[in-house]
Chains A and B, each alone.
Chain A
């Protein structure tokens, strides 16, 4: 029994008590896990699951520009990323409204331009090691500034989401209804995209620009196999993200692997397991599915 406890301590607790960078990484990961998954749930429900990925690429030239101008400075790189992300989202939105083309085609065009610019900028100034860092993040780089940034972004995201929650739900469910009420859905959509860019920028230090999307989307898509209610989806996705962050960090510590991919892979394993044996729509659920008997109240709805 004591052996088991010692092993558990060595695996789960000791890395955190022994190393400050692990504690920082954990706090950062948990804060991101609180804010990003609810955004992911709404992205998924709006059929925009891949938009997060596009925006992560879009953030890149801003980060690179910050890096080129100010060296490895977190505030400069984050600010650059934020500006680039918002610019791409805004441009894509305007082009789609002006031309009537679908927003995803405009967004695809802009993020590709943005990505090419970013890679160009990084390769002009830095080495390939720097590029890897920007793309995939590094847990060792999380300092107090980074933690403050992540915590502020997470708090702001949760606050704004609480404020726009109902209008966001109604806009997702039935944009025409909202239009009929004289509410411009575009504004809500813009605020939502802004929050997404903010979270991707906050996450790039821990996870890298590309991996930050993983913590947003994978918990959301995993939760879909377990809940059919919005509250359930949001709560579960946060829980899954928190477990993945913690689990991924510990795995990366013990096996000497990069932290970003580890965290996302743990979330990925949760997704695959849920796709196989989740409660709703999984392989197992399909095999086991039996029709439920007619409910008595159904009778009131059929013609007599």
Chain B
């Protein structure tokens, strides 16, 4: 069962074609990793799925309404000097159901406390945004995303510049959300995180998309990673034309 699929999707950004003829289906309840070099079109694809960028040709078929899609962008526009606490930031995640006028009720607060506890933010509810560490901030932002109770989560490099503890919390939370039936799409660079999190991988390279099994990608990747003697930071090499396609596609 799937509520999101791409059909012959071609996307352009600033007059330059970024992706061509991308096809595929994102399974419900699965975490799909978007993998590719900088400029490969990961963020562009995410914008198209969010409905913020019209395709040059082809279609994004998404049966989930706009307000049920949550997006955590990579380039944050968040103003950290804004006088707002973690709690208030998370409550803005209620926007899809509450909009401009509806009051936050006890249910909203209960839900928020649950999310805070899961993300280890309970003690930080009243802390101003400007006083958070990078990891705490990322957890608060994921908290806001979770408050949206979305059916589709799009996260653009959520693990960049955060500590391992935060990565663990974020991974567990994303798995919970997926288990509850949501479609989760995460842009990833790190092989360890990919091994841990991804059920399927959409590899973007040279303007094309290719679906691969995580295991296959990991296998292909481990040999060069060892040769480079950087076992802590095994980044994905991006030219994999001979990777066999993911069995489900």
Contacts and interface: CB of A to CB of B under 8 A. Distances in A.
B223 interface: no
B62 to A, nearest CB: 13
B124 A180 contact: no
Given A164-B100, A181-B66, A300 B83 contact: no
Contacts of B73: 176, 180
Contact of A176 (B76, B101, B128): B76
Interface in B73-93: 73, 75-79, 81-84, 89, 92
B50 interface: yes
Interface residues of B, number: 36
A297 interface: yes
Contacts of A258: none
B228 interface: no
A300 B125 CA distance: 13
Interface string B88-117: 010010011001110000000000000000
Nearest to A299: B123
Contacts of A295: 123
A52 to B, nearest CB: 19
Contacts of A45: 79, 81-83
Nearest to A228: B83
B168 to A, nearest CB: 9
A166 B78 contact: no
A170 B123 contact: no
A180 B70 contact: yes
A170 B99 CA distance: 10
Contacts of A239: none
A173 B123 contact: no
B82 A182 contact: no
B122 A297 contact: yes
Contacts of B96: 181
B89 A173 contact: yes
Residue of A173, A227, A296, A303 contacting most chain B CB atoms (<10 Å): A173
A191 to B, nearest CB: 12
Interface in B139-179: 144, 163-165
A284 interface: no
A302 interface: yes
Interface string A166-177: 110110111111
B97 to A, nearest CB: 11
A47 to B, nearest CB: 8
A144 interface: no
A290 interface: no
29 contacts: A45-B79, A45-B82, A163-B100, A165-B100, A166-B99, A166-B101, A170-B95, A172-B79, A173-B84, A174-B76, A174-B77, A174-B79, A174-B92, A176-B76, A177-B144, A180-B50, A180-B70, A180-B73, A181-B95, A229-B83, A230-B84, A232-B83, A296-B123, A297-B122, A297-B124, A298-B123, A301-B121, A302-B165, A303-B164
Given A180-B52, A180-B70, 10 more contacts: A45-B79, A173-B84, A174-B77, A179-B52, A180-B69, A180-B73, A181-B95, A230-B84, A301-B121, A302-B165
